[in-house]
Amino acid sequence: ASAHALVEAGVLRDGSPLRFNHPLLRSAAESAMTDPQKQDLHAAAARVHRVEGGDPELIAAHVVKTQTLTEPWLVEALRAAAQQALSRGAPDPAASYLRRALDETVPDNERPSLMRLLGSALLRAGDEEGIAWMKRAREASDDPGFRAAIAEEVGPSLIVRMRFEESAALLQESIADLDGASRETELLLRAALVRTALGGNQDAFGEPYQELKRAARDARGGSSEERMAHQFLALGAALGLATAPQARGHALIAIDDEDVVRASAAAGRPLGQAAIALAICGEPALAERMSEIGTEEMRRRAALFGIASNLSTQAATRLTRGDIAGAAMDAEEAHRLAAQGVPMVPAGVAGIRVAIAIERGLPADAEQILIDGGLTGKLPPGLFIGFTQVARARLRLLQGRIEEGLRDLTIAAGTYHGLGSVGPDLIPPRLHVPLALFALGRVGEARDTAESEEGWARQIENPRLIGEALRVRGLVDDRVGIDALRQAVGLLAPTDYRLDHARALVDFGAALRRAKERKASRDPLREAMDLAHRCGATALQERARIELEATGARPRSVLVSGVESLTPSELRVAKLAAGGMTNREIAQSLFVAPKTVETHLRHCYQKLQIAGRNGLADALTTDG
């Protein structure tokens, strides 16, 4: 009867459950109560929902609003709610539940696990305070296995904040604490040490890699710990510590299948480094798919750092395949997340964005990316900083600032005791050095260096790098010239590295033209122009067109339309919408406003010349 009267009076909304008709009415009702009254009512509500088996987060939402409730079941209820919130990708409420739980009297043996869970929630929300909670949890426990797990879990957050020595110290201390008690945990810690070294502690890279190799001698990939070990062995091998077939072998043990990749990402142990190794060593399509799965899982968990990190890997693998539009889409989203405060090394993403701008014939845009990121001076160490160092070097060569470009290449190539870093296209910088030497007029040195680098590429049995080394040698060494370029084209043609193939075709066709073989030069130049267009490599396409015109041919014009006309953000939204996601789901996935999604979709419909959402899938597939 009271509810009926209140509905008639317009105070409550007609329906079930009963709600106030307007937020102002709710506010007025609440303002009539004292704070102790509110706390008592929240405590009563929490008890009722618990007795009735209510949703854990509903119970917790009441508990955090009262300090008067202190009952034995409270801590476990808050823990369950936090775990549920984390499972649905909501770290912020999870952290509030856990803070409230830690205000209670918690047994000493349970407090470390609660502190660790709070640290994990804060780190997933991008809050650096999570590191302090993790370290407190570690100090509060004398269990070597628990302490080791925290050292490994907190490592990536320390690395992206350039706290390499701190990460390494925690890991080494935990290895000593274990004293051989757990082989699998030790494998995980040694893999994390290599990860730390790759992040920036390059002087200490060789020893942890060799220790990991010894520890993983009998590992067959049957556990998550063994797969983590193999992924870092794969990356080291791909960078030149072993052959490309050996790197692929390690990576395939790590990855195994799509379910393993998804489960590893869900457990907070993504296999992105194995994907990079595959992209370097001849399997870029598989690498791209593995990166996509990792990104999907991180989106499901709403793990912002994981999303940004996976998008960077995904952008690099797509750039390696020659999918410049896809790489730009990923790199721009990763950059946007970094700009929103997601902790990561933004220079790695900047390097990919610079490389994309160069391929699109936009050197001024590339320079602005460096300026905006404060990346025109000395760069910090690290594998992914190599992305920027090499991209900046390529830009400097393009600008005629050859000495600066050579200096950047030399630094990047000397990383990790001469092992070297990789550029955003996952090509080692050492293979670019002969071009810089040649541009400076140091022809003899350029020839000798190019010959040496070809020998290195053959030694590690990497067909892509052999093809690239032959292309470079053909440009700087007139003793092998056209023959080396012809071999490069032949090696790269059957691979999935379309952009590398297009570049080799342009150089081969241009060399034939300069040798007065105009008719023979036209076919490779036409093929290069078409392939560069399909890659979205505007600068290379234009160069092929100019070379083709110089042979007396009349290349057809290529109009930019369809998918190629979409911006990276528009393409991302179009793909998600074509996959069946609603505007609200897309907005939540990309952390943007629903209005932004609507605007992007409207532009997509106009550019793709379709009536609406139902035509997206066909338009993207047909144009793809």
| DSSP secondary structure letter of residue 479 | T
pLDDT band (50, 70, 90) for residue 383: low
Strand-pair partners of 20: 12
Residues of 291-300 as b/e, b for ≥16 C-beta within 10 angstroms? bbbbbebbbb
Number of helices and strands (H, E) in the chain? Answer: 34, 2
pLDDT at 347: 63
Closest CA to 141 of 183, 112, 161, 182: 112
| Cβ–Cβ under 8 Å, residues 383 and 421 | yes
Q: What angle do the packed helices 363-372 and 346-359 form, to 10 degrees?
A: 170
Lowest mean pLDDT among 117-121, 479-483, 556-560: 556-560
| Cβ–Cβ under 8 Å, residues 395 and 354 | yes
pLDDT at 233: 93
Strand-pair partners of 13: 19
Lowest mean pLDDT among 1-15, 97-111, 186-200, 536-550: 186-200
- Counting residues of the chain whose pLDDT is more than 90, the rounded percentage is 56
Lowest mean pLDDT among 61-65, 380-384, 440-444: 380-384
| Cβ–Cβ under 8 Å, residues 322 and 352 | no
- Average pLDDT value over all residues in the chain: 89
Mean pLDDT of 472-496: 95
pLDDT at 623: 45
| Cβ–Cβ under 8 Å, residues 78 and 114 | no
Task: Sort residue 18 into left (φ over 0), alpha (ψ -120 to 50) or beta.
Answer: beta
pLDDT at 200: 63
pLDDT band (50, 70, 90) for residue 378: confident
- Is pLDDT at 393 greater than 70 in this prediction? yes
- Is pLDDT at 310 greater than 90 in this prediction? no
d(CA 388, CA 424): 7
Model pTM?
0.78
222-264 residue pLDDT tens: 888 899 999 999 988 898 888 999 999 999 999 878 888 888 8
- Is pLDDT at 204 greater than 80 in this prediction? no
| Cβ–Cβ under 8 Å, residues 280 and 231 | no
89-106 residue pLDDT tens: 889 999 999 999 999 888
Q: C-alpha angle 522/523/527, rounded to 5°? A: 115
**Concatenated DSSP letters for 102-152?**
HTS---TTTHHHHHHHHHHHHHHTT-THHHHHHHHHHHT---HHHHHHHHH
| Cβ–Cβ under 8 Å, residues 595 and 558 | no
d(CA 610, CA 17): 43
Mean pLDDT of 444-465: 95
pLDDT band (50, 70, 90) for residue 416: low
d(CA 477, CA 480): 6
- Counting residues of the chain whose pLDDT is more than 70, the rounded percentage is 95
pLDDT at 355: 95
The amino acid sitting at 509 is G
C-alpha torsion sign, points 72, 76, 79, 84: negative
- Is pLDDT at 80 greater than 80 in this prediction? yes
d(CA 606, CA 591): 24
Structure token digits, residue 97? 């539940």
293-308 residue pLDDT tens: 988 888 887 777 788 8
User: Cβ neighbours of residue 474 under 8 Å, at least 6 residues apart?
Assistant: 480, 481, 482, 483, 484, 485, 488, 507, 508, 511
Q: Say which residue, 565 or 80, is predicted with more confidence.
A: 80
Tell me the range of 222-226, 338-342, 483-487, 609-613 where mean pLDDT is highest.
Answer: 483-487
| Cβ–Cβ under 8 Å, residues 188 and 232 | no
Look-up: residue for tokens 């190019």? 450
